[in-house]
Structure 1
Amino acid sequence: MLVWTLVVGPVALAQAQPKDAGDDVYVVQPGDTCGTIGRKLFGDAGKGSATLHALNKMGPPPHDLKPGTVLRVRGEPDARLTFIKPEVNSKRAGKPDWFQANTGQGLWRLDSVNTLRQAGAEMTFRDLTRLQMNENALVVIYGQDTPATDTVKKAGGVELLQGELSLSLAELRGEGLGVKMPAATVATRSKDLVVGVDAQQMTRVSVFDGQAEVSAKGQRVRVPRDHGTRVEKGKDPEPPRLLPEAPAWVGGTRSVRLLLDGQGVDETLAWAPVERADTYRVELARDERFNDRVHEASVPAAPAALESVARALVPGQYYARVRAVDAAGLLGRVSQVRQVEVLRVKTERGSLGPQGLQGTWPLEFSVEGAEALEARLDGRPTALPVRLDQVGVHTLELRPRGMPEARPETLSLTVSPPRVDVTLEPLAEAFQARLLVRDERGAPLDVPATALALRGLEGTRVEPLTKQPDGALAARVLPVERDGERVASVEALWGDTPLQRREARTPAPKPPPSGVTPEAARVSVLGAPSGGRLDAAPLPTVFLPQALLVELRAQPGVEGLADVSGARMALAVEGRVGERVALGAALRARPGQPADPSATVAGRVWLSDLPTFRAVLSFEGLWAGAGSDEDARGLWLRPALLLGGQWDRWALSTSQGYALRPGQARATWDSTYQGWFLPRPTLALGVEVGALLGATPQEKGPHAYAAGVGARWKHGGLELGASVRRGLGPQGPALWGTWSGQVTLGWSGLGALRPQ
C-alpha cells in the first residue's frame, strides 16, 4: 500500500527550474558501459547494472552501448499528476532543486509536489485513489517499504497539518485509510470523506459514506454516515452531529446559456435553503471532478432562495455543486451536479449584442450544440437553425431537450426590413417603377414579388409588381396631371412598414384645341356592306374612347336609288377598361323585324407608344340574324389590325380585317382607308375608300368596292355624324348598295376621361 504525507501551509520554495528529463531516463554518452552508468546513477556498479537490465531490453552482456541511446532508469511510478492548474512544482527524491511539473508526470517514492498560490493539482495512485490538492499544499510520496515507525504511514495514510482535504478512496483499496492531524487521528473505510484543520488546529470530520473512527486523548468516537464531529486540540472528540441535507437547485439540474458577444455570459446559480445551514459553499468547474474550478463562493444562509453569480463564462461545458456548512463549520452533503452549457450563437446576417440578435430580412442564425436543445419561437415549437422572414421583434426560448422544467434561455430577435432602392423612369404616357432589394452589405437580395408592395400616393395608380430577369421588381405607374406636369408619387412598403418614397415629374403634352381630339376621326364613312356584318360592331378606329361612349346609328336606304341592304339601326356601347384596353358591344335590328336582331362583342388593345402613331389590335365576335343575307347569317369572327395617327389638323387610319365563319371554309377580307380634315375644333370632314373580297373552296367570292364621304360634329359630350357612300364596280352595288347613308348620335360624357 502507498503511504503519503500532506503538508499544507505557506511554504517558501526556491524558483522552480525547467523540468530535468534526466530524472527518468539517461542518454548514453561515449565510453559509457552498464557498470559506469550504474555507479553514476545508483552508487553501485553491480546493483545499478542489474537495475538497468531489469528496466530495459538489452539482451545478454556484454553490451555495446551506442551514444545517444535512451535508457529507462526508473520503474512504474507510484502515482501520476492527473491535473495541474496553473503552475505546480515537483522535486525528485534526494534532489535539492524544484522543477516545473507537467500533467501526466510520474511520481516515485519520496518525490514531492508543491502547489503555489491560486494553484491546484490532483494525484491519482496505482489503486486509483485520488487526492485533490488546493493552493499552498505540499505532498510527499511514501512507498510501501518506507522505513518509518509511524502507524499511519505504515498503514498507508495521510498526515494533514493545515487546510482541507477531500479523499476519494478507490474500490480496489484493500484496507482502510488513516488520517493523522494535530488534534486527532481518523481511521476510515469511507469512500467519501472530508477532513480539515483550521488555523487554531481545530479538527473537523464529515462522513458521507460508510463510517469513521475519530481518536483523541485516548477517547474514540464512531461517526456514522451523514454525520460529523470536531476535535479541539487537547480535548476529547465531540459527539457526532447530523450534517445538513443536500440543497436542491432552483430551475433544474441543467441550464443552457447563449454567448452573444465576446464578454462572456453571467450564470446565476440558485438553490433552496436547507435546515441547520449557517453558510453555503458553491463551486463551478470545467470538469466533473471539480479540479478546474472557475468560480467559488461562500454565501450566508437566508430563509429565501439563495444564489451566486459566476461571471464571464466562455463557451463550453461547466459543472456546479453546492453544499451547506453548519454553525460548527462541518460540511453537509453535496447537491446534485448541475450542468451549465454555454453555447455560441452564429449568424449569417445581423449583429449580436447583450440585447439579442438584430439584422435585416431574412435573419438566419444557428447555435452550436443545437441538437441537444428544444426551441420555441414566439411560443411555438421550431427547428434549429432558424430563418426569420417576418419583420418585427420575436422571442426565442431554448431549453435542454427533454427537460421542460429547466429555466429557458430567452433571446430577442429583431428583424428589420431590407433596404429598397426605388426608381421611376418615364414610359410613354406613364412611368415604370423598379425596386431593387439589398442587404446590409449592399448586395442584391432575391425576394418574392409578394414580399413588397408599391402604393400610389396623391392619385397615382400602380399596377401589380412583377419579377424581372435581373431580380428586380417592376410595375407600371399611371401618373396624375397637375400644373402642366405628369406627376407620379409612390411609396414602397414591406408589409405595413413604409420603406421609401419616390416622386417623378415629366411635362404633360399640350392638349389640342377644344373639340379637336383624335376621337373625332372615329366613324366609318362607308358603314357596312349589304347584308350587314360590320354595322352591328363598335366603330372601327385606332383611337380608344376617353370615356364610356353610347351611340345610336341609323343606316336608311336612299329613296329611289338601289339599296339592297335596306334600312337598319344599331345601338353601340364602348368604354375603356384600362389604359390600353377598350371593350364594346352592339345590337342591330331592322325596322319591322325586332325579333331578328344581330349582336357583336368586340375588344381593342392599344399596342404602340408613339405620340402621333397608333397601332390597335381588334377582335370581334358577331352573330348575324336570319334577317341578314344568306351568306352573312350565323357566327362570324373577325380579327383586325388598325393603324393610324393624327398630325395637327389631319388624321389618317386604315382597317385590315379578316372575317371567317367557324367550322366552314368561308372567309372575307375587308380593307378600308380613311382620311380626315379638322377645319374647326368641333368639326371633322372625312373621305373613305374600301374593298371587300370573299371566297370559298368551291367558288370565287364577290369582289366589291365602295367610296364615301362624311362629317362629324362634336359639342361637349354630344357627337353627331353623317355619311353617304356608293358601291363601285360590277359587284359593288350588290354588296354595298348603289347609294346609302348613315346617321350617328353619340354621347361620351358617361365616365371619367382618360388621357391617351
Structure 2
Amino acid sequence: MLFSPAISWAQQAPDDDVYVVQPGDTCGSVARKVFGDATVGSAKLHALNKMGPPPHELKPGTVLRIKGDPDARLTFIKPEVNSKRAGKVEWREANTGQGLWRLDSVNTLREAGAEVTFRDLTRLQMNENALVVIYGKAAQATDKVKKSGAVELLQGELNVSLAELRGEPVGVQMPAATVAARSKDIHVGVDAQQMSRVSVFDGQAEVSAQGQSVQVPKDHGTRVARGQLPEKPRPLPEAPSWAGGVRSVRLLLEDKGVDEELAWAPVKEAASYRVELARDERFNDRVHGETVQAAGEGPKSVARALGPGRYFARVRAVDAAGLLGKASAVRQVEVLRVKTERGVVGPQGIQGIQGIQGALRVDFSVEGAESLDFRLDGAPTTHPVRVESVGTHTLELMPRGVPDARPEKLSLTVSPPRVEVDLEPVADAFRVKVLVLDERGTPLEGPFPQLKLLGQYGTRVEASLQRQKDGSLMTRAVPGMRGGERVAALEALWGDTSIQQVSALAPVEQRAPAPVVTVEPAPVVKAAEEEVALQPLLGAPSGGLVEAAPLPTAWLPQAWLGELRVQPALGSGGVDLARGRTVLAVEGRVSERVALGTAVALRPGALLRGGDEAGELPATAPSVSLSGRVRLTDSPAFRVLLSFDGTFAGSGFGQEVQGLRLRPALLAGMRRGQWAFSTSQGYALRPGQAQATWDSAYQAWFLPLPRLALGAELDGLVDATPRADGPVAFAAGLGARLRLAGFELGTSVRRGFGPDGTRVWGDWSALLTLGWSGLTPTQPQ
C-alpha cells in the first residue's frame, strides 16, 4: 500500500476539515456524526466556530470547521500529487493550499513535485515518487521526531529548509534512520533497498540508527543501511561551475520553442550529475531534470522546447556512494519572443544559427530586451533592430553587465525585393511601369534609392520615377537599335545586383500594336550600359625591344571579334607605313567567364638589328601570340580579370627580342556613369633566361555616347631582372573608339619618353584599328 496506494478517481468530496450543514441538523446531531459524542463534540464545534450562545438554529448549507488550524499546507503541487487523510484508505488528488494534519500522507507520482510548508515556515520539497507522513505537534508525544512536528519519509527524496525562527531541530523519520537537523538546507532520501542518505549543506544534523548517533557537519553526508549503524560522515562533492556564465538569453522565433544547452565543468569526485531547470528560484516548478553520467570532458544536458519566460538552472555532482553534492550557482536563462515587423523566419543561416530573412529590409523587436546589449556585425546597434544593407548579417545579444555570458546569435539576411518591370509603347517611346514587392508580394511604398534602371543597346531611360496611385513607379524610355530593329531594353539593378532584364520591340505598321515583351532572369554575368570594347589604346610599340600583341579588348568580348590593326611610325618625314606594324587578331568567349584569342603581327625585323643604312626597306619579321582571360568578379561596375599571353618572335628579330615571352597580368577597372578607369599590371619573362620586365598601363575613359569612348593612357615598362640592367621606359597617348553596328573603329597617338622611351616605345607612333564582331550574337559585357 505504501508503494502503490489505492487511488479513488471518483468525484472528489469536500475537504474533511469542514462540515456542510444538512436540513434537520442540530449541534448535537453534527457532534455525534463528526466526533462520536454529543457533549464533547458540541464543545469542539463551538470552540472552532463563532456560533453564539445556545440554543441556535443551524441553516442548511452553513460550513462549519471541524478541525483546528492545519499543521502544514501544500504550497505547491505539480501533477500528479495525491493525499490521504489520517485513518482513511482512499487517496485523492491534492490541491494547492490544502491543509495537512497529523498523520496525513502525501504522495508524488512520476515527474511530479510538491512543497509542504509548516506553520513556522519550515519547508519540505518533495521530488518525484516520494511518500511522506505529516506529524503535527502532540503534547503527549514522547518520540523526538513526532514531537517536533516533522515528517516520516517512507520513499523518495526530500529537500528540507529549516525556518529562521524555529527553536528546535526539524525531524525526519526514515526506515533505517532518524534525522534531527538544525540546517537551513538538507537533503534526505530513501531508495528501493531502504538505504537512507543524508546530505547537509548548512548547519549540522544528527543521524541516529540502532541506538547510535553521528553528527554530520556542513558540506558532509552519510548513509545508513537498514539494520546497520550510520556510516562515518564524508565530504560532499564540490559544486560544479557553469560553462558560458550564469546568465544566458535565447530568442524564440517560432512557437515550437528553443532548446537550451546546459554545460558545466567536470567535478573530480563525481560519478554522475543531477541537473534541474525550473520556472522558479526555489526549484519547485521544474520543467527539465536529468541524471548525466560523469563520462567525457564536457558534461551537458539539453532542455528541449522552452517557451517564453525566465528559467533557473542548477546542477549537483553525485558521488559513488550516491550522496548528493553541493549545488552550483543558479544560472538564469531568459527566453525572449521576437516580434517581426518586416521579414519572415527563414532556414538556419550562417554557422547553423536561426535567422530572419526579408526583402528590402528586416525590422523586428525583442520582448523584454531592456537589459540587453545588441551588436550587429560586431558594432553596437539600437533596439528595435532595422537592417537594410543587402547580404547576410550576424546579430549578437548580450546580457548587460555580464561580460562572460554566452551571446545569443541571430542571422539576418536582407535580399533585394522582387521587381516587376513592364514596357508599354506610347507614340515613339515606351512607358515603363515598375512594381517593387516584398517577400509576400505586397507593393512597397519606397523611396528606393538603390533601384536603378539602365538602358541597353542605346535605350535612353529618364532618371525620375513617378509614384502612381496603385503603388507602382512610372518613367519613360526611348528605344535604341539592335540588329537593325528599334528595341527598348532595360536592366533593373538593386545597388550592384542585377535583378531583372526586360526588352520589347518597337511596333511598326506591319506589326500588331502590342510589343513583343520578353522577361529574362538576370544572368550570372552582370551587365552595364552598352559600351564600346575598351581596348588598350596604344597597342604594342612600333619599334624597339618589346614585342607585345595586346589583347583586343580590356574585358571579355561580347562576341567573336576579328580586328585588323595598323601601327605606322611617325617622324619628321610624316607617316611611315613601311616601318610600322600590322596585326591581325581574333578573340572570342568560350564560356561566361573565359575568353581566348590569337594574333599574328608583321613588323620590320631589320630595324631591331641596328637600322637600314642603305635606305632600303627592312625585312618583315612575323610574331605569333596566344592569349586568354578569366573574369573573377560579377559586379557590373567593378571588374577584375586574370590574363595570360605568350608571344613567339622569330629569327628575324634581334637576340634581345627573339624567342618565347610569357606574360601573366591582372586587369582591373570600374565604371561610374560616363567615366571608366582601368589598369593592367603585367610581368613578362623569357623562359631559360634571367630577364624579366614589369609593365603597367593606366587608362581613363570618357563615354559621352553609348557607342563612343575617348581615352587617355599612361604606360610604363621597368626592368625586373636582378643582375642585369634593363630598360626603363614610359609612354603616354590619347585615343578614341567608335562602334557602328557590328564594326568598331579606333585610333590613337603615342609618344615615348624616359631613359629608354624612344628605344622601347619609339618616338611618335599611331594606331588605326578596324574590328568586326558580327560572327555570333552578342552577349552582355
Report if TM-score (shorter chain) is over 0.5: yes
Cα 1:393–1:484 change in 2 (3 A) is same
What's the counterpart of residue 197 of structure 1? 190
1:431 Cα deviation after fit:
2.2
After superposition, give the CA deviation of every residue in 1:310-336 in whole Å (9 maximum; x if it has no partner).
Answer: 122222221111111222222211001
1:227-275 per-position Cα deviation (integer Å, ceiling 9, x unaligned): 2222344444333322221111010111111223333211111111223
- Is 1:166 the counterpart of 2:165? The answer is no
For 1:270 and 1:327, locate their aligned partners in 2 and report how far apart those are by CA, in whole Å: 21
1:123 Cα deviation after fit: 1.0
CA deviations 1:29-63 (Å, max 9, x no partner) are 32222222222222222333333333333333332
Q: Give the corresponding residue for 1:258.
A: 251
Structure number with higher relative contact order (C-alpha < 8 Å, ≥ 6 residues apart): 1
Number of residue pairs the alignment of both structures matches: 506
Q: Is the 8 A contact 1:188 1:212 kept in 2?
A: yes
Offset at 1:752?
Answer: 11
| 1-structure distance, mates of 2:110, 2:267 | 33
176, 196, 200: which one pairs with 1:207? 200
Task: Give 1:492 shift.
Answer: 1.2
Q: Which amino acid aligns with 2:94?
A: A
Q: 2:200·2:216 contact (CA, 8 Å) conserved in 1?
A: yes
**In 2, Cα distance between the equivalents of 1:348 and 1:324?**
45
**Corresponding residue for residue 451 of structure 2:** 452
Query: Which whole-Å deviations, capped at 9, do the CAs of 1:95-150 have from their partners, x for residues lacking one?
Result: 33322211111222332222233322111111111112223333322222275443
Equivalent residue in structure 2 for 1:46, among 21, 31, 39? 39
CA contact (8 A) 2:132 2:155 kept: no
Aligned to 1:702: none
CA deviations on 1:660-693 (whole Å, 9 max, x unpaired) are xxxxxxxxxxxxxxxxxxxxxxxxxxxxxxxxxx
Task: State the partner residue of 1:91.
Answer: 84
1:349 aligns with 2:342: yes
Match of 2:26 in 1: 33
In the other structure, the counterpart of 1:433 is 432
Q: 2:131–2:156: 8 Å Cα contact kept in structure 1?
A: no
Structure 2 residue identity aligned to 1:400: P
Matches within 5 A, 1:490-569: 490-507=490-507
- Is 1:477 the counterpart of 2:477? The answer is yes
Secondary structure of the equivalent of 2:506? strand
Q: Distance in 2 between matches of 1:428 and 1:183?
A: 104
Which residue is equivalent to 1:319? 312
> Equivalent of 1:121, from 114, 121, 128?
114
Unaligned runs of 5+ in 2: 349-354, 511-737, 741-781
- Output aligned runs, 1:595-744, within 5 Å: none
Could you say which residue in structure 2 is the equivalent of 1:462? Answer: 461
Query: Is this contact kept in 2: 1:261–1:353, CA < 8 A?
Result: no
Q: Any conservation in 1 of the 2:247–2:405 contact (CA below 8 Å)? A: yes
Q: Is the 8 A contact 1:11 1:136 kept in 2?
A: no
SS of structure 2 residue aligned to 1:113: strand
Give the letter for the 2:137 counterpart. Answer: Q
CA contact (8 A) 2:134 2:150 kept: no
Pairing of 1:293-372 with structure 2 (within 5 A): 293-302=286-295, 304-353=297-346, 355=348, 356-372=355-371
Alignment partners' CA distance in 2, 1:483 and 1:416 = 35
Is the 2:457–2:482 Cα contact (8 Å) retained in structure 1? no
Question: Are 2:397 and 1:412 aligned?
Answer: no
Counterpart residue number, 1:618: none
Of 95, 98, 105, which residue of structure 2 is paired with 1:112? 105
- Aligned-pair CA distance for 1:469: 4.7
Residue matched to 2:398: 399
SS at match of 2:342: coil
Residue by residue, what CA displacement relative to the aligned partner does 1:554-596 show, whole Å, maximum 9, x if unpaired? Answer: xxxxxxxxxxxxxxxxxxxxxxxxxxxxxxxxxxxxxxxxxxx
| Cα distance, 1:22 vs structure 2 | 5.6
Tell me which residue corresponds to 2:441: 442
Distance 1:179 1:71 in 2: 33
> Is residue 81 of structure 2 the alignment partner of residue 81 of structure 1?
no
RMSD (CA atoms)? 2.6
> How far 1:218 moved relative to its partner?
4.2
Offset of residue 205 of structure 1: 2.1
User: 3-state SS of the aligned residue for 1:249?
Assistant: coil
C-alpha distance in 1 between matches for 2:52 and 2:367: 56
Change over 3 Å in CA distance of 1:451–1:46 after alignment to 2: farther
Give yes or no for the alignment of 1:20 onto 2:8. no
Given the superposition, is the C-alpha separation of residues 405 and 200 from structure 1 closer, same or farther in structure 2, using an over 3 Å criterion?
Answer: same
| 2:55 aligns with one of 62, 68, 79 | 62
User: Could you say if the C-alpha distance between residues 92 and 160 of structure 1 is closer, same or farther in structure 2, counting changes exceeding 3 Å?
Assistant: closer
In 1, the alpha carbon distance for the partners of 2:27 and 2:210 equals 55
What SS is found at the alignment partner of 1:348? Answer: strand
Cα gap change, 1:11/1:137 in structure 2, threshold over 3 Å: closer, same or farther? farther
1:100–1:303 distance in 2 versus 1, CA, 3 Å: closer
In structure 2, C-alpha distance between the alignment counterparts of 1:298 and 1:49, rounded to whole Å: 55
Q: Does 1:131 align with 2:116?
A: no
- 1:501 offset after TM fit, Å? 1.7
Write the distance in 1 (CA, Å) between the matches of 2:226 and 2:50.
55
Distance between the aligned counterparts of 1:196 and 1:397, measured in 2? 44
**Cα contact 1:285–1:292 (8 A) shared by 2:** yes
3-state secondary structure, aligned to 2:32 = helix
Greater mean deviation of Cα atoms: 475-484 or 360-369: 475-484
Gaps of 5+ in 1: 1-6, 511-750
Q: Structure 1 residues 317, 752: CA separation in 2 closer, same or farther (over 3 Å shift)? A: closer
Distance in 2 separating the partners of 1:204 and 1:501? 78
Whole-Å Cα distance in 2 between the matches of residues 52 and 353 of structure 1? 68
Contact 2:135 2:152 in 1 (8 A): no
Q: Shift of the alpha carbon at 1:14? A: 3.2
TM normalised by structure 2 equals 0.61
Post-superposition Cα deviations, 1:632-673, rounded to whole Å, max 9, x if no partner, equal: xxxxxxxxxxxxxxxxxxxxxxxxxxxxxxxxxxxxxxxxxx
User: In terms of mean alpha carbon deviation, does 324-333 or 147-156 score higher?
Assistant: 147-156
The 3-state SS of whatever aligns with 1:53 is helix
Question: Is the contact between residue 396 and residue 407 of structure 2 (CA under 8 Å) also seen in structure 1?
Answer: yes
One-letter code aligned to 2:71: D
Q: Which has the larger radius of gyration?
A: 1
- Where 1:370 maps in the other structure, the secondary structure is coil
Paired residue type of 2:273: Y
Kindly provide the amino acid, as one letter, of the partner of residue 416 in structure 2.
P
Q: In the alignment, residue 136 of structure 2 is paired with which amino acid? A: G
Query: TM-score when scaled to structure 1?
Result: 0.63
Distance 1:157 1:106 in 2: 15
Equivalent in the alignment of 1:175: 168
Query: Identical aligned pairs, as a percentage?
Result: 70
Give the alignment of 1:578-597 within 5 angstroms: none
Alpha-carbon distance in 2 for matches of 1:107, 1:486: 96
CA contact (8 A) 2:137 2:148 kept: no
Contact kept, 8 Å, 1:19 with 1:101, in 2: the verdict is no
Q: Distance in 2 between matches of 1:132 and 1:92?
A: 20
Q: Distance in 1 between matches of 2:128 and 2:286?
A: 12
CA apart distance, 1:303: 6.2
Residues 68/361 of structure 1: CA separation in 2 closer, same or farther (3 Å cut) = same
Partner AA of 1:436 in structure 2: L
Contact 1:449 1:467 in 2 (8 A): no
| Contact preservation (8 Å) 1:213, 1:221 | yes
Q: Does the aligned pair in 2 maintain the 1:492–1:499 contact within 8 Å?
A: yes
Query: Partner letter of residue 455 of structure 1?
Result: L
